[in-house]
Chain A
C-alpha cells in the first residue's frame, strides 16, 4: 500500500535534501496520482518543509501528512459528493457511463439493492444491448435484489430501451431508475455520440433528469483515467465518479489526480462483487485509509 511504502521510505531517509524530494515524487507517481499531481505535491511540500524548518524524520512525516490532507480538502472545497434526487414526484434517474469492464452493471446491482432496502421503488434499464450477455447479467442482478428490469432484445437501439424505461418509470410511479449502458472507450466518437443521444432522450422526457451521470472508473486504472474523466465529462457532463475494485491491490491514487485536475467528486466506491460491497465515498476516511500507517507510524 501507499502508506506502507511511504513509511519504509521515511525510515530510510537521512536528511531532507533534494534527493529526498526526488524520491518523494517517484513514490507519489507509483501510487498513480499522476505526474502533475506528484510534482505539485512535492513542490508544495518542499516549501512547507523549508518554511517550518523541520529536520527530524518524524516532524517531516507530520508536515507531509498534514499538507496532503489540507490539499485534498482544498481541492474539494466546492465539491458535494452526495447523490442528487428528484425534487418532485417524477422519478430520479441515474445514468451510468464508463469504459469496458469498469463495473457499471455491478454497481447498478449494488445500488438497486441499497434503494430497494430503503423501501424505494427501483427500476433498471438494460441500456447495454451490445455486449454478449449484458442484458442477462442485469436481469440476474434484478432478480437477485428483487427489482424489475426494462429490457428489449439484444442489438436493438439502446436509446429506445431507455425511452421505454423512462416512460414506464413515470407511468408506474417508480422512485428511481438506474440506466445501464454499454462500456465504451472514450476515444470512440460514434459510441460517445450514442451516449449523448441516450442522455438527450432522458432529458427530453424529464427535463430535470438524469439527476446523476455517474462515471464508473476501475480503481486500478492508471493515467488513462484522466482521459476517461475528461472525455466522458465532455460528452455527458459527469456529475460524479464511482471508484470500483478498491478491494484490489490498487487503492485508487488516481482519485487524487482527478480531484486536482478535473474537480469531479467521487461519490461511491466499490469494494467487492457482492451486493453489499458499495460505500459512499468518504474523503476523510479515504485519505486516512491511504495514509493510515503513515499517520500511526509517524509517532516513533
Chain B
C-alpha cells in the first residue's frame, strides 16, 4: 500500500520525544495528529475519527503515569485499548431462536458479498452444528442471482427455495418459511437483492420481509474496501431495519478496512464475521483487537511499545 502504517509514523514522532520522562500536552497532540491521519487514510469516517481522537487525548492527558511504561508507550497503549473497545470487546456469536428455525436475513449494497456469505454461513453451521439449513432466494432482480445461489447451495449441500423471478420477494419468503417448517429445517437463510440505502422502494421491501419473517439475525454485509460513505450506508440500513450484526467481506485484500470502525461506531452493532476469500470455507469469526491493529497499521503492538 501507498500508506505508511501508524507504527512507522509514530516511530518518527517518538524519535523526537525519546528521553523525555513525561509527555507534555504538546507531545500528546503530536502523537494524536499521527493517529488521526492514520485513521483517515484507513478510510475511517471523519466524524468517527474526530470523536475517537478527542476521547483518547482526554484519557492520555488525564492518565496516571505508570511505572512500567514510558509516557509514549502509555499513549500507544491507550490508543490501542480505546480502539479495541470501540470495535467491540470480543467476538459475538450468532443469535439463535429458542425454537427452530433460526432465521437469518442477509442485507446490503450491491455486490457486497451477501450471496457468497449466505453460502459460507450455511457451511459454517453445517460444519459446526451439523445444521440442516435452507436458503430462500429473495433476489428476483439481479440477473442469474438464483442460479448463483443454487450453485453455492449445491456446494454446501443445502436446498434452495425459489419461485423464479416473477414473484414478489415477500411472498417468496412467506412460502419459503412454510417449506422450512414442513422440512423442519433448523436454519433459514434469506438472500436478498443488493440495494442502495436511499432506495425507498427496495428498502421498504426489506421492511416487509422483516415484518413477515421476524428474523433472529439481520446481517448487514459490507465490503471492507468502502470509503467514507460506509458510515452513512450502515446508518441507513440500521435505521430502517434495526440490523442485528455485521459481516465484513473481502478482508483478504490489502485494504486497511477502516469501514469496520465506522460501521461499528455509527450502528453500535457487533461485527460477527469476516469474509477472507471467495471460497465457502473462508469465513472467520471477527476479532476486534486484530481489526484494530489492521486499521492502524500497527503491526505488532508489543514491538512498538518496546521501541517507544
Which A residues fall within an 8 A CB radius of B?
Answer: 26, 29-32, 35, 99-103, 109, 130-134, 136-137, 139-141, 144, 154, 185-188, 218, 220-227, 230, 245, 247-250, 253-254, 273
The answer to whether A100 and B155 touch (CB under 8 A), given A220-B229, A222-B227, A222-B258, is: no
Q: Is B265 an interface residue (CB 8 A)?
A: no
Closest to B255 in A: A224
Q: Tell me whether B198 is interfacial, beta carbon within 8 Å.
A: yes
Residue B151 at the chain A interface, CB threshold 8 Å = yes
16 pairs, A vs B, C-beta closer than 8 Å: A31-B228, A32-B227, A100-B250, A132-B116, A133-B145, A133-B149, A137-B144, A185-B254, A187-B253, A188-B252, A222-B255, A223-B256, A227-B1, A227-B2, A249-B232, A250-B227
Minimum Cβ distance to chain B for residue A27 (Å): 8
| Chain B positions 182-212 with a Cβ under 8 Å from a chain A Cβ | 196-198
Q: Mark B219-240, 1 if CB is under 8 A from A, else 0.
A: 0000101111110110010000
Q: Which of B12-20, B39-47, B86-94 participates in binding chain A?
A: B39-47
CA distance A247 to B115 in the complex (A): 22
B251-275 contacts to A (CB < 8 Å): 252-256, 258-259
Check: B177 CB closer than 8 A to any chain A CB.
no
Closest to B148 in A: A133
Query: In the complex, what distance in Å separates the CA atom of A45 from the CA atom of B255?
Result: 30
CB <8 Å contact, B147 and A221: no
Instruction: Give the top 4 A-B pairs by smallest Cβ distance, nearest first.
Output: A222-B227, A133-B148, A101-B111, A222-B43
Chain B min CB distance to A249 (Å): 5
- Residues on A with C-beta less than 8 A from B255 are 222-224, 227
Query: Looking at chain A's contact residues, is the secondary structure mostly helix, strand, loop, or mixed?
Result: loop
Q: Report if B143 contacts A (CB, 8 A).
A: yes
Given contacts A101-B111, A103-B111, A224-B254, contact A218 B144 (CB under 8 A): no
Q: Is the CB of A273 within 8 A of B141?
A: yes
Cα A218 to Cα B227 with chains together (Å): 10
The interface centre, meaning the residue of A132, A222, A223 with most chain B CB atoms within 10 A of its CB, is A222
For B111, what are the chain A residues with a Cβ–Cβ distance below 8 Å? Answer: 100-103, 218, 245
Residues of B within 8 A of A249 (CB): 196-198, 229, 232-233, 236
Which chain B residues border A102 with CB–CB below 8 Å?
A: 111
Cα(A224)–Cα(B45), bound, Å: 15
> How far is the CB of A238 from the nearest CB of chain B, in Å?
17
Chain B: interface residue total (CB-CB under 8 A): 52
B37 interfacial contact with A, CB 8 Å: yes
Interface residue? B109 (CB, 8 A) = yes
Q: Is the interface of B mostly helix, strand, loop or mixed?
A: loop
Partner of A185, one of B37, B113, B227, B252: B252
The complex places the Cα of A254 from the Cα of B142 at a distance, in Å, of 26
> What distance in Å separates the Cβ of B125 from its nearest Cβ neighbour in chain A?
19
Quick one: which of B115, B143, B152, B227 contacts A221, CB cutoff 8 A?
A: B227
Q: How far is the CA of A226 from the CA of B42 in the complex (A)?
A: 12
- Residues of B at under 8 Å CB distance from A? 1-3, 37, 40-43, 45-46, 109-113, 115-116, 119, 141-145, 147-152, 155, 196-198, 223, 225-230, 232-233, 236, 250, 252-256, 258-259, 278
Question: What is the minimal beta-carbon distance from B294 to any residue of chain A, in angstroms?
Answer: 13
How far is A141 from B142 in the complex, measured between Cα atoms in Å? 10
CB of A139 within 8 A of CB of B227, answer: no
Given A26-B46, A101-B112, A249-B229, A186 contacting B148 (CB threshold 8 A): no
Task: Give A38 Cβ to nearest chain B Cβ, in Å.
Answer: 9
A186–B253 CB distance below 8 A: yes
Q: What residues on A are CB-neighbors of B233 within 8 Å?
A: 220, 248-249
With a CB–CB cut-off of 8 A, which chain B residues contact A26?
40, 46
In the complex formed, the residue of A with least CB distance to B225 is A224
Indicate which residue in A29, A185, A220, A273 contacts B226 across the interface (CB closer than 8 Å): A220
What's the least CB distance linking B111 to chain A, in Å?
A: 3
**Known A-B contacts A144-B143, A187-B254; A222 and B228 likewise in contact (beta carbons under 8 Å):** yes
Q: Which one, A137, A220, A226, contacts B148 given CB within 8 A? A: A137
Residues of B within 8 A of A31 (CB): 228
Q: How far is the CA of A103 from the CA of B155 in the complex (A)?
A: 24
Q: List the B side residues contacting A130 at CB < 8 Å.
A: 278
A245 CB contacts on chain B under 8 angstroms: 109-111
Given A35-B40, A99-B253, A133-B147, the answer on whether A226 and B226 have CB atoms closer than 8 Å is: no
- Inter-subunit contact B143/A141 (CB<8 Å): yes
User: Is A226 touching B143 in the complex (CB atoms < 8 A)?
Assistant: no
A227: B residues at CB distance < 8 A:
1-2, 254-255
Partner of A29, one of B40, B115, B119, B143: B40
Centre residue among B45, B141, B152, B226 by max chain A CB count within 10 A:
B226
Contacts of A222 in B (CB 8 A): 43, 225-228, 230, 255, 258-259
The answer to whether B250 and A223 touch across the interface, beta carbons within 8 angstroms, is no
Tell whether A218 pairs with B223 under 8 Å between CB atoms, given A35-B41, A223-B43, A248-B109: yes
Nearest chain B residue, comparing its CB with the CB of A140: B143
Contact A223 B41 (CB under 8 A): yes
CB-nearest residue of chain A to B114 = A101
Give Cα A186–Cα B150 distance, bound, in whole angstroms: 28
Bound together, the chains give a CA A141 to CA B143 distance in angstroms of 7
When distances are taken between beta carbons in the complex, the residues of chain B under 8 Å from A247 are 196
Contact check, A250 vs B229: say whether CB atoms are below 8 A apart: yes
